[in-house]
Amino acid sequence: MEQVLAWQAAPLALFEHGPGVLVAAFADGLATIRGADLTWTWSGPIQSAAMGPDRGCYVLSAGRVWCLDPDGSAAPDDVTERFGGRPREQGRVRCTGVGEVWVEGCTTHRDVNGRFVANPAAAAAPWSPAAEWVDIYGITWACLEHGGSTRVLLAPPNAPDEWAPAGVDAGHWHWLIADTVGYTWLVGPGGWRRLAPRQAESGWRTLAGPAPGEAVTAAGLSPDGLLLVGTGDGAIRECDATASGDTQARLVAQAPAAARCLLSDGGGAMWAATDRGLYREPAAATAWQQHWQLLPGRLPGGGNHDIFAAACGGRLWIAGGWAGQWGLPVRAHVPDHLFAFDPASGYWEVASQMYMPRRYNGIAALDGRVWVVGGEARFGHRPEPHQALYLVDVFDPRSRTWSAGPSLNFVRTDPFVVTCGNRIYAIGGAAHNEGPKLDTVESIGAGEDAWRIETPLPEPTRQGHGCALDGIIYCFSIDGAFAYDTVSCTWDMALPQPGPIGQGPLAAAHDGLVWLLGGYHDRSVRCYDPKARRWAHGPDLPVEQAWAAAEVLNGRLYICGGARFSPAHEAIVFDDRTWVLRPSSSV
């Protein structure tokens, strides 16, 4: 690793504050780091710190909670009373991937919108803990040190109102890490433990550490979202589990001394703070971070797939979906939420609740409103399969209200729903989840009260993704690529094909090209130039991804959620992450 800075004491924590900017929370103050320059922006004792979604640094200092501007341009704000209760003197301050800021001992936490929300009841604990992570199952995890040992607690999304014991003995656990492939790790002087909630019946596994005789001195997530640990010999290793339960450790960097805290930044670099300096391991030239940036916010509720996104009012919107592994015990779950993404913060919020849980629906924007089109729902608690829908529901982001839109002419689950030329098009899909594919097409314009029948598809299709560019709608599925001219109302029967397409591909129109991204067992990106009628390769996705959302907002291409099969774990992994294509990436 290359040395960036020298100092006399390691910070308590490191945070990324923007491209090329870090924030370091030391025991005696806060500082920003730009290149080799360290600038102190606040002086005072710090027991714990976390970076919030509002770009404020929340610190516990002498029994008070302060929100600090890392750049030092705004006055410190004492927010202790807003968190309620009394912070623990040496307690933890944490920010989860859904943008919640927690303070140990306090009775409320700050949500992604700045509202203060009551914490889960803590009957199993002497005081309210601070949440450490929200994992891909939507489970919130916490650690609480008491009586010389650490208790591990959880609050699953299907029982979120009370902390419950996590089923592992209290011990000397210094780190709790939930990775992005579905494992929760406990590391400390008490040893190593690991739980896969999707295999909760197997319980917590007791593990041997990756470096016998070397104590773990720091832990975090690697650039690929796996457990990252530093040991006393300065080695930094990425750790994963195999399908058989073995632990695999890979040396990814070597610091000259033990790391006290670790950070993986959005560019794929790893940072290690030792007692005597700050060190950096740059990303490989072939790393996916050269083309894609991982954003801090996670989808609320955990990994979600069979989703689509629409851009409206400067935000991205996702409605419902299907969380294939959710809660504890883990089960499939259909959300009833409308999610909104703020590009300024990089975080998602639950913007509204829909009338019913909904999956396989399309989503589009028209006339400043978000249209949720078709899909499936299960009404009440009846055991029948989900029912395909004619229903169209319209959300107004300005008034934050719902209204009923004109019903479709055909029930449609899994349709391609695309806005083009001030009209929304609903294309293909199926009459029910197990039923035959549809070739019917219909559209509606602003102010109209009925859907208009359009020219049918050349062949029935479903389970794909669509986008629009220059008046042409493009649809992609395992059945191939289709292009519809919305002016002449004709399908392009000579459209060049990109080759085989996996299930659940993503599509978006970006930078004058049509982007076909991923699909089941596929990480590749293919780009179509309508003028040249030619396909070319684009930058590969960060991971194989299917059934995810892809959309362009403010000229940037975003992908979110999805699912993939992981051969290493012999499991389907449902994702809750969001990436954006870097402006410098091109075909």
- The answer to whether position 347 is within a domain reads yes
Is residue 170 situated within a structural domain?
yes
Based on the fold, state whether residues 134 and 207 are members of the same structural domain. Answer: yes
Residues 89-101 have pLDDT tens digits of: 889 999 999 999 9
Domain boundary among 182, 215, 248: 215
**Is residue 6 domain-resident?**
no
Q: Give the chain's mean pLDDT.
A: 95
What's the first-to-final CA gap in the chain, in angstroms? 32
Contact of 166 with 152, CB cutoff 8 Å: yes
Q: What is the pTM of this model?
A: 0.96
Mean pLDDT by 10 residues, the chain (587 residues): 97 95 98 96 97 97 96 95 90 96 97 96 89 97 90 96 94 94 94 94 90 91 98 97 92 98 96 98 96 96 96 98 96 96 97 96 98 87 73 98 98 97 97 90 97 98 97 98 98 98 98 98 98 98 97 98 96 97 85
Bridge partner list, 349: 340
Q: Are 535 and 491 in contact (CB under 8 A)?
A: no
The helix/strand/coil state of 288 is helix
Sign of the CA dihedral running 419, 423, 429, 433? positive
Instruction: Report how far residue 585's alpha carbon sits from residue 318's, in angstroms, rounded to the nearest whole number.
Output: 25
- Helical spans, DSSP H, in 103-183: none
Residue with tokens 């501007």: 69
On whether the CB atoms of residues 281 and 273 are closer than 8 A, the answer is: no
CB hemisphere CA count around 314 (13 angstroms): 5
**187, 207 contact by CB (below 8 A):** no
**Is the same domain home to 307 and 174?**
no
Residues 471 and 337 both lie in one domain: yes
Host domain of residue 423: 292-581
Q: How many CB atoms lie within 10 A of CB 85?
A: 16
- Two tokens, residue 329: 């015990």
336 inside domain: yes
Instruction: Kindly state whether residues 297 and 191 are assigned to the same domain.
Output: no
* Residue 382 falls inside a structural domain: yes
pLDDT, tens only, 299-349: 999 999 999 999 999 999 999 999 999 999 999 999 999 999 999 999 999
Q: How do 29-34 and 37-43 pair as beta strands?
A: antiparallel
Q: Does residue 98 contact residue 347 with C-beta atoms inside 8 Å?
A: yes
Q: Say how many domains are in the chain.
A: 3
Q: Are residues 507 and 535 in the same domain?
A: yes
| Same-domain check for residues 167 and 100 | yes
Distances (CA, A) of 395 to 214, 367, 373, 518, 582: 56, 11, 11, 30, 30
